[in-house]
Amino acid sequence: MAGITLLYQHEQIAPAFLIKIENELNEKRDLSILLREKEFILLKKAKENYPVHITNHQDYTLIIEGKIYGVDMLSDKDFIRYTKSLLFNKKKEDSLRYIRNLDGEFVIYLIDNLTKKMVIVNDYLGRLPVYYIRNDHFVLGRDISVIQKISKDMEFSEAGVYQYMRLGYPLGDKTLYENLYRLPPSSCVEIDACLPGRKGNINIQNQPVSLTELHESRGKNNNPEEQLYEHFKSAMKRRFVSNEKIMLSLSGGLDSRIIMGEIEKESNKVSYESFHYENSIIESDLAVVRKLCDYYGKQFNLTELKEWSPEYFNELIDIKKGMNYLGMAFLIPFLKEMSSNYNLMLTGDGGDKTLPYLFLGLNLFNRDITTLILSRNEVTSQAGCKQIFHTDSKRNEDEIRAYFNAYNEKYTGLNYKRFLLFERTKNWLFEGEDRNRNYIWSTSPFYNPEFFRAAHSINENYKKNYRLYSLFNNLIDPGLNTIPNANWDFPINNEKKLKYLLTKQAIKHNVGRLFPRRSAPHTIFVGLLNEIKTLLAKGVGEPLNVNIALDLKTLSNESLFHLLTLLKVAELIEK
């Protein structure tokens, strides 16, 4: 994965680490030293057009990985003042508040040229996944592969692996590996070489987003969509101030069309791109893409893909080390094609996490929060995980339950919303977007901090039945509400069909599990089962505690792809 990696060790980096780094530099041509001192080394794994900006001031060095929209990082006086204050002022509240309001996907490094003190901050929502290990050394970076090579041997985390199979991703700050953690959103890392070592000179703090506070901060605005639209317009304008070649990844859903509508309203210069592979869902999606383009009199480009793409498995594993599962490997040719023609990819990511109703809705049987989360979001059932692993299923389930029960929002609905935003979005969707950035920078206006906060301060009841979606579209172009949503096969303004669909979904969520599911084909890919069987026969599943005799035909496609991902990661680690 392209990006920056920091290795820090108090007083002086041990020779053993320097040897490992030298080996990595010799092995990887795209890896180079960005900055080197006796206590730390900053490495950069570069891809073409990957954004890393370095500014050498008189008394400090500023390094920015990623993009900040609407701010000139070289000349903006507020940006220079607030970032410098992070390094030299004891009181950092104003600076951190300023950073949390910046629109972008970024990690900022500040280094005092005299004392070598370092401060690292990331953006409000943690849009760029960053991982760290904290032992007798401290390694922080975006590329797990590099972290793994220069740090001590990393073993799989039993809890992280179990949660990955259960939900599709490890929960909270966990990863698939012991002692490797995700850096939380809105984090501030301070490394002060003047303080005593043994971890005491490294301080990590973060400011969690309180959904309760946002929920209770709403005013008496009778038309909140109007303020929300102003934030959206600002976020869009900021992304168009550069001279970059921009494309929109256009689908038949509700979110990317909002961006398309605003692009056409403002007459911005953008190319529309989509992809196709043989699948009935994709065919429906493309039919709506054509209707959207016909509506605006625009053309779109189409990239042909293969859904089963084993030739890209190792590449995706090398990029994300399992944090994005192999079911998404088919996208790599599309991303490569986009990177050869454009500098920036706009997506509708986050629209479905800001505009619709995100509370639980009907809960007929008064199920607890953990049962509700698992029943609506599981990848593999508890019984399936019990069959896959030789580990204690009950202990792992208890850990998941304890984690969810520790959510401290004021209402059950807000706790479920917290799961959707800070587990599924942060730990699943952000990792997928980050895969894109290894090829082309990916951004979405829906994650603009002001838009995000404004959207989540709106009463959830105002969003019911896709009301906010519809009102928001009306401010851009009411015609958007007349074009079908590919997921429904009817437009959002068909209130009768929409009400029927939502009622049906609510019933299914509550009583669907009381009835047996229809039998369905266990896999549509001939090679999927064979790939897993081959790896199990090699003993690759041993460090994962995978049961070699498990019945693969009882698992869903999604479960099989997640299991294959884990096995491929284990195989590459062994090499």
pLDDT in tens, 183-226: 999 999 999 977 776 556 899 999 988 899 888 877 667 899 99
Residue 136 is predicted with a pLDDT of 86
> Tell me: the pLDDT tens digits for 27-50?
988 999 999 999 999 999 988 889
Cα separation of 539 and 531, whole Å? 13
Q: Which residue has the higher pLDDT, 549 or 517?
A: 549
The pTM assigned to this predicted structure is 0.95
Lowest mean pLDDT among 3-12, 193-202, 321-330, 544-553: 193-202
Q: Which residue has the higher pLDDT, 480 or 216?
A: 480
Q: Say yes or no: do domains 3-206 and 211-357+392-514 share a fold.
A: no
Confidence check: pLDDT of 433 > 90:
yes
Cα separation of 376 and 387, whole Å? 21
- Select the CATH number that applies to the domain covering 3-206 from these four: 3.40.50.300, 3.60.15.10, 3.60.20.10, 3.40.50.9100: 3.60.20.10
Q: What percent of the chain has pLDDT over 90?
A: 82
Residue 423 is predicted with a pLDDT of 97
Under 8 Å CB-to-CB from 309, ≥6 apart: which residues? 329, 330, 332, 333
CB atoms within 10 A of CB 504: 10
Residue 91 is predicted with a pLDDT of 87
Helix %, strand %, coil % of the chain (to 5): 50, 15, 35
Confidence check: pLDDT of 519 > 60:
no
Residue 521 is predicted with a pLDDT of 43
How much is the CA Rg of the chain, to the nearest whole Å?
A: 24
Residue 471 is predicted with a pLDDT of 98
Amino acid in the structure at residue 282: I
Q: Which pLDDT band, with edges at 50, 70 and 90, does 524 fall under?
A: low
Ranges of each domain in the chain: 3-206, 211-357+392-514
> What average pLDDT does the structure give for the chain?
93
Residue 373's Cβ-side half-sphere holds a number of Cα atoms within 13 Å equal to 29
- Arithmetic mean of pLDDT, 280-309: 96
Lowest mean pLDDT among 13-17, 103-107, 477-481: 13-17
Class of domain 211-357+392-514: alpha beta
Q: Which pLDDT band, with edges at 50, 70 and 90, does 520 fall under?
A: very low
Residue 522 is predicted with a pLDDT of 42
